[in-house]
Amino acid sequence: MANARILAVDDSPTILEMIKAILLSGGYEVITATDGAEALETARAEMPDLILLDVMLPKLDGYRVCRLLKFDQKYKAIPIIMLTAKTEEQAMATGIRTGANQYLTKPIEPERLLSAVAEELEKVQG
């Protein structure tokens, strides 16, 4: 789904720019947020086709943002891919339990990220 709008959320400007460059190379439109509160506000205002969401965020962590969106009828169909440096099974299980569609660990491999995004967008398109 080229031209899909993706909300990328990370509190690191460096990582956010890297994610944005990867997504732009895949033909996606990218909007960004740098904390959990901004992510929630942007998701509600922009209705992106997919959200890439870091776990460790200021104001509201990624798990909370994911939970709030997934348990709201209006936003629950938006695929969410959690991104984090945490590799423990417990962290991954928490991400999936909060409603995340996938859980990717950092450092982010461009091919893996684009593949995960395409896979989730295809599921939504049917």
Sign of the Cα pseudo-torsion (87, 90, 91, 97, in order): positive
**What is the distance between the alpha carbons of residues 60 and 38, in angstroms, rounded to a whole number?**
9
Taking only the tens of pLDDT, the chain with its 126 residues reads 568 999 999 999 999 999 999 999 999 999 999 999 999 999 999 999 999 999 999 999 999 999 999 999 999 999 999 998 866 667 767 777 888 999 898 889 999 999 999 999 999 886
Cβ neighbour number for residue 97 with a 10 Å cutoff: 11
The confidence score (pLDDT) of residue 94 equals 75
Q: What is the pLDDT of residue 1?
A: 59
Gap between the Cα atoms of 15 and 97, Å rounded: 25
Helices (H), 47-97: 62-70, 89-97
Whether the CB-CB separation of 15 and 106 falls below 8 Å is answered with yes
Single pTM value for the model: 0.93
CATH of domain 5-125: 3.40.50.2300
| Among the listed residues 30, 9, 12, the one whose alpha carbon sits nearest the alpha carbon of residue 21 | 30
User: Looking at residue 81, what is its pLDDT?
Assistant: 96
Q: Where are the domains of the chain?
A: 5-125
Residues 126, 122: Cα–Cα separation, whole Å: 6
